[in-house]
Amino acid sequence: MLGKVNHIAIAVPDLVQATAAYRDTLGARVSQSQALPEHGVTVVFVELPNTKVELLEPLGADSPIAAFLAKNPDGGMHHICYEVEDILDARDQLKAAGARVLGNGEPKIGAHGKPVLFLHPKDFFGTLIELEQL
């Protein structure tokens, strides 16, 4: 079911500062910031040879990232995203196996313009998992 790691997401309290650290200190290539109101975040992608790192900043007080940062004010790893060939098939298999899909269970369009779903971290050893259709 799982394909390659698409990205690892890090919640940050200051996206401009985090972007500068990755770009200027680590010498990474970073994307322009992109607001995703449906997900309540603004994102920047750090482009690496084998994957990406997604830097997430809250977009509004109701953002799930705001709640994460309230518990982790310095930021930290938020989720890992795996690619799947068919997100609806993956969802159905996971639900049949007892995994909880967050939200209403229907995919939303993610930062890459592709359908995504999130799986409850309590079902995967404390790690929030995002699935993204190829």
Contact of 22 with 14, CB cutoff 8 Å:
no
- Considering 54, 57, 83, 130, which one is annotated as catalytic? 130
Burial call 110-122: b when 16+ CB within 10 Å, e when fewer: bbbeebbbbbeee
Contact of 43 with 55, CB cutoff 8 Å:
yes
Annotated active-site residue 85? The verdict is no
Residue 62 to residues 31, 58, 74, Cα–Cα distance (Å): 25, 8, 19
Catalytic residue numbers, as ranges? 130
